[in-house]
Structure 1
Amino acid sequence: MDKDLSFYKKLFKKKGYKFTIQKQLILLEIINSNTHLSVKEIYERIKKNNVGIATVYRSLKLFNELNIIKEINTNNISYYEMKIFSKKPLHIHFKCSKCNDVIDIDDRNLNLEFIKLNKKVEKESNVEVNDVNIMLIGLCDKCKANKKCKD
């Protein structure tokens, strides 16, 4: 285990949950990933450690409830990324309609506009925004290039 998981261990203990080896393995896969992972992808990466797919589902549900991870659902497939201590706490998602890749759009100027939009919605609608999911859909660079080659 190459990451310090002491924060998560304390969080689990505080909330009355056990931070099992299986949960640690699942969490490390998400922490160490440079992409959004589905349940199947997480399972494929850790099944050699005798972790069942049901354990992956239960752990992800708990991580989501504890606000450790964020679930992004597209085409009835859930993908997961870190929410706590994420290197990109505020970003927009882009989903390729051809290859189904989910890509983070992390642009400082867009993030500022994103924050302004949240504040405007809160003020004008008298609500409190706690989380936002913006998903842009189109063709990624790779699929766009493949389309041009076929034309």
Structure 2
Amino acid sequence: MESKIEIIEKILKEKNIKCTNQRKAIIEVFVNQDAHFKPEEVYDLVKGKKIGLATVYRTIEILKIHGIIEETTIEKDRYYELKLFSEKRLHIHFKCSRCNQIYDYDKTEMILDLIQLRNFAEQEYNVRVEDIKMIMNGVCHKCRG
């Protein structure tokens, strides 16, 4: 059975994109950690491997274009998370205003409400909703004590 990294390498190869050691190191960050990353955070994790910030930005853009990672903008900051293997296709982001940690919420009841909202918008306004991004801000359980 192919690993997630091998599958991503295969996808890139099919698109005639070389999977260099630098790109592989960046891909490993997303595959090995279930988190949201700013490009600078990815850079901090891979810079010991002699990877430049420009390479991180270019690789993130390639991964985003090909549906491997997803971009979410929260308060002018762009965050990226692995999308390709995600089982939480529709989820809500919560950003703590104290520690800046981002949490994913995907409880069935919340997702059903989002689906109901999507269905209403499609019927009421005769549109096709392709994506929903919901971001909640507040103080997380750790910071509340």
TM-score by length of 2: 0.88
Alpha-carbon deviations, 1:38-63, whole Å to 9, x = none?
Answer: 11211111111111111001111111
Distance in 2 of aligned mates of 1:134 and 1:68: 20
Does the alignment pair 1:6 with 2:23?
no
Contact kept? 2:98, 2:139, Cα under 8 Å: yes
1:144 Cα deviation after fit = 2.0
Contact kept? 2:34, 2:81, Cα under 8 Å: no
Amino acid at match of 1:110: M
Q: Partner residue of 1:92?
A: 92
Relative distance call for 1:107 and 1:119 in structure 2 (3 A) is same
Distance in 2 of aligned mates of 1:89 and 1:21: 29
Q: Partner residue of 1:144?
A: 144
Alpha-carbon deviations, 1:62-119, whole Å to 9, x = none?
Answer: 1111121111222322111111111322210001122211111121121122222222
- Bigger shift: residues 46-55 or 5-14: 5-14
Q: How do 1:2-151 residues align onto structure 2 when only pairs under 5 Å count?
A: 3-145=3-145
Identity in percent: 37
1:120 Cα deviation after fit = 1.9
RMSD: 1.8
- Bigger shift: residues 78-87 or 115-124: 115-124
Amino acid at match of 2:129: V
Aligned residues between the structures: 144
Distance in 2 of aligned mates of 1:110 and 1:96: 19
Contact kept? 2:5, 2:27, Cα under 8 Å: no
Mind listing any 5+ residue stretches in structure 2 that lack a counterpart? none
Mind listing any 5+ residue stretches in structure 1 that lack a counterpart? 146-151
1:16 Cα deviation after fit = 2.7
Distance in 2 of aligned mates of 1:144 and 1:37: 23
Amino acid at match of 1:39: P
